[in-house]
Amino acid sequence: MPAAPLIIGTHNQKKGAELAGALAPHGVEVRTLAGVDGAIEVVEDGQTFADNARLKAVEQAKHLGQWLLADDSGIQVDALGGAPGVFSARFAGPECDDQANNRLLLEKLAGLPPQKRGAGYYCHVTLADPSGEIRGEATGVCRGVIVPKPRGSNGFGYDPLFEIRELHRTFGELGPAVKKALSHRSRAMRSILPAIVRELAR
111 appears as a binding residue in the annotation = no
pLDDT in the model for residue 4: 76
Q: Report the percent of the chain where pLDDT is more than 70.
A: 98
The answer to whether 62 is a known ligand-binding residue is: no
Query: Up-side HSE of residue 152: CA atoms within 13 Å toward CB?
Result: 21
**Cβ–Cβ contacts within 10 Å for residue 64, how many?**
18
CB 161 within 8 A of CB 150: yes
At 202, is the pLDDT very low, low, confident or very high (cuts 50, 70, 90)? Answer: low
Lowest-pLDDT range, 166-170, 177-181, 186-190? 177-181
pLDDT 10s digits, 44-82: 999 999 999 999 999 999 999 999 999 999 999 999 999
Q: Is 121 among the annotated ligand-binding positions?
A: no
User: What does the DSSP assignment read for 60-85?
Assistant: HHHHHTSEEEEEEEEEEEGGGTT-BG
The number of CA neighbours under 13 Å toward the Cβ of 141 is 9
What Rg, from alpha-carbon coordinates, does the chain have? 17
60 is in an annotated binding site: no
CB 124 within 8 A of CB 49: yes
The DSSP secondary structure of 83-149, one letter per residue, reads -BGGGGGGTT-TT--HHHHHHHHHHHTTT--GGG-EEEEEEEEEEE-TTS-EEEEEEEEEEEEE-SS
**Does the annotation count 72 as an active-site position?**
yes
Give the global pTM. Answer: 0.90
Strands across the sheet with 162-164, in order?
A: 30-32, 6-8, 67-77, 118-128, 134-146, 162-164, 169-170
Tell me the mean pLDDT in the region 121-141. Answer: 97
**Predicted confidence (pLDDT) per residue in 8-53, tens digit:** 998 877 777 777 777 778 888 889 998 899 999 999 999 999 999 9
Query: What is 6-200's CATH number?
Result: 3.90.950.10
Please provide the average confidence, as pLDDT, over all residues in the chain. 92
Task: Return the pLDDT at 69.
Answer: 95
Annotated binding-site residue? 139: no
Is 10 marked as a binding-site residue?
yes
Whether pLDDT at 1 is above 60: no
* Confidence at residue 179, expressed as pLDDT on a 0 to 100 scale: 85
16 annotated as belonging to a binding site for a ligand: no
Q: What percent of the chain has pLDDT over 90?
A: 75
Catalytic residue among 37, 51, 72, 78: 72
